[in-house]
Amino acid sequence: MTVACPQESRLPSGTRLLNLGPARYFVRQSWIQAEREAFETYRPHLQDFDIIHDHSWFGYCYSAKIDHPNLRVIHTHHGHLSWKNLPPVSHMNFVGISRFMQNEYEKLGIASKHIYNGIALEDYPFSATRGERLLYIGRVIKFKQPDVAVGLAILTRVPLDIVGGDRFVDDPSYVTWLKGFCDSQNVRYIGEVSHEVKLGYLRDSRSVLIPSAFGEPFGLVALEALASGRPVICLNDGALPEVVENGVSGFVCDSAREMARVVRDGSDLKLSGEICRRRAERFSREKMAEGYLGLYSEVLKGNEW
């Protein structure tokens, strides 16, 4: 197997690296240019492979397929599609990371399948003992709505920790604005942390809040919470209802007011951490790999879509 990725990437033994240079951590840059530069690095090698699994945003591998129609390309898109035109190829072999995204792509006229994202469950130790504080984990950006989580904590008087990425954001002023509502006691702003520190906040939390409202393509944070044995209280947004079983491993709410009612009533405290963990086990990285291996097999047999 060969992986085209940034030079800092850690790969399993025996995996060949096509070095794309250092990772790009700056939001304000031309991402289409960055992807094109990466594509020009690995383009000469594409005809060497039985299957090309493209995870890029703009799908440059399709331009290689236009020139070489026999290339077998599978493209997993990890978000909402912003392409102005679809590539003129007979089989796009498009994959969404949820049913929600598959349906969105099919409305655009793209034949699609879906494979759920997965996590390494062993990286998220289960803890049956829950803390008293709520937890928001995620990027500190407007469409993830951490300000709704802050308002909920203030309204219910249940303490909250804000943990999330605040460097890879397009509006630093929003981060500053949000910090102004955090009093370092009832609502603590933690910011970006390592994986190990994040696990500590998950372990010590009561439940995890996900007030996202932009059409979550999947919701990895929900999966991390469930794997740790923590219920998720979220808005009915995007694919989140596919990950969180309402009333079983969390609560899928139609409004922030409903989320607050769940917290105030203590409904989340009645849910089983063991059931949350079992729910997460349905989204393991092994199941994700099995799903993709099945798609590879279909494409190699000529069953493209």
Burial code of 126-145, b = ≥16 C-beta within 10 A, e = fewer? bbeebbebbbbbbbbbbebb
Let me know if residue 83 belongs to a domain. Answer: yes
Domain span at residue 105 reads: 2-118+285-300
Q: Are residues 289 and 189 in the same domain?
A: no
Q: Say if residues 18 and 3 touch (Cβ distance below 8 Å).
A: yes
CB atoms within 10 A of CB 175: 19
Same domain, 174 and 94: no
Q: Say how far apart CA 162 and CA 301 lie, in whole Å.
A: 48
pLDDT digits (tens, 9 = 90+) for 124-170: 999 999 999 999 999 999 999 999 999 999 999 999 999 998 887 88
- Measure the CA dihedral 152/154/158/162, to 10°: 70
Query: Strand, helix or coil at 209?
Result: strand
Same domain, 61 and 151: no
Section 73-102 average pLDDT: 96
Assigned domain for 199 exists: yes
- Domain contains 166: yes
Q: How far is residue 98's CA from residue 214's CA, in Å, rounded to a whole number?
A: 15
> Does residue 38 register a pLDDT over 80?
yes
Same domain assignment for residues 25 and 155 = no
Question: Is 225:232 a contact under the CB 8 Å cutoff?
Answer: yes
| 75 and 219 share one domain | no
DSSP annotation of 17 reads: E
What total of structural domains would you count in the chain?
Answer: 2
CATH number of the domain encompassing residue 250: 3.40.50.2000
Give yes or no: residues 152 and 270 share one domain. yes
Mean predicted confidence (pLDDT) in 209-228: 97
Q: At residue 110, does pLDDT exceed 90?
A: yes
Which pLDDT score, from 0 to 100, does residue 130 have? 95
Task: Give domain status of residue 39, yes or no.
Answer: yes
CA-closest candidate to residue 259, choices 98, 146, 166, 177? 146
What whole-number percentage of the chain has pLDDT above 70? 100
Q: Give me the amino acid identity at 84.
A: K
User: Crossing angle for the helix pair 146-156 and 172-179, nearest 10 degrees?
Assistant: 10
Assigned domain for 16 exists: yes
Report the Cα–Cα distance between both ends of the chain, in Å, rounded: 24
**Does residue 226 sit within a domain?**
yes
Same domain, yes or no: 131 and 98: no
Report d(CA 67, CA 166) in Å as an integer: 41
Sign of CA dihedral 210, 214, 215, 217: negative
204 and 173 belong to one structural domain: yes
The verdict on residue 109 lying in a domain is yes
Mean pLDDT of all residues in 204-232 = 97
- Same domain, residue pair 56 and 130: no
Report yes or no: 40 and 23 within 8 Å, Cβ to Cβ.
no
Q: What is the pLDDT of residue 28?
A: 77
Alpha helix stretches (DSSP H) within the chain: 31-42, 61-67, 99-107, 146-156, 172-179, 195-203, 220-227, 240-243, 256-265, 273-280, 285-300
Q: Are 22 and 57 in the same domain? A: yes
Query: Which span out of 6-10, 32-36, 253-257 was modeled with the highest average pLDDT?
Result: 253-257
Are residues 129 and 231 both part of a single domain?
yes
Count CB atoms within 10 A of the CB of residue 300.
12
Q: How many angstroms separate the CA atoms of 169 and 174, rounded?
A: 9
Q: Is 240 exposed, middle or buried (0-12, 13-18, 19+ CB in 10 A)?
A: buried
In whole angstroms, give the CA distance from residue 234 to residue 251: 6
At position 277, the amino acid (one-letter code) is: R
Structural domain contains residue 305: no
Same domain, 159 and 274: yes
Residue 34 half-sphere exposure, CB side, CA atoms within 13 Å? 15
User: Hey, what are 302's tokens?
Assistant: 């000529």
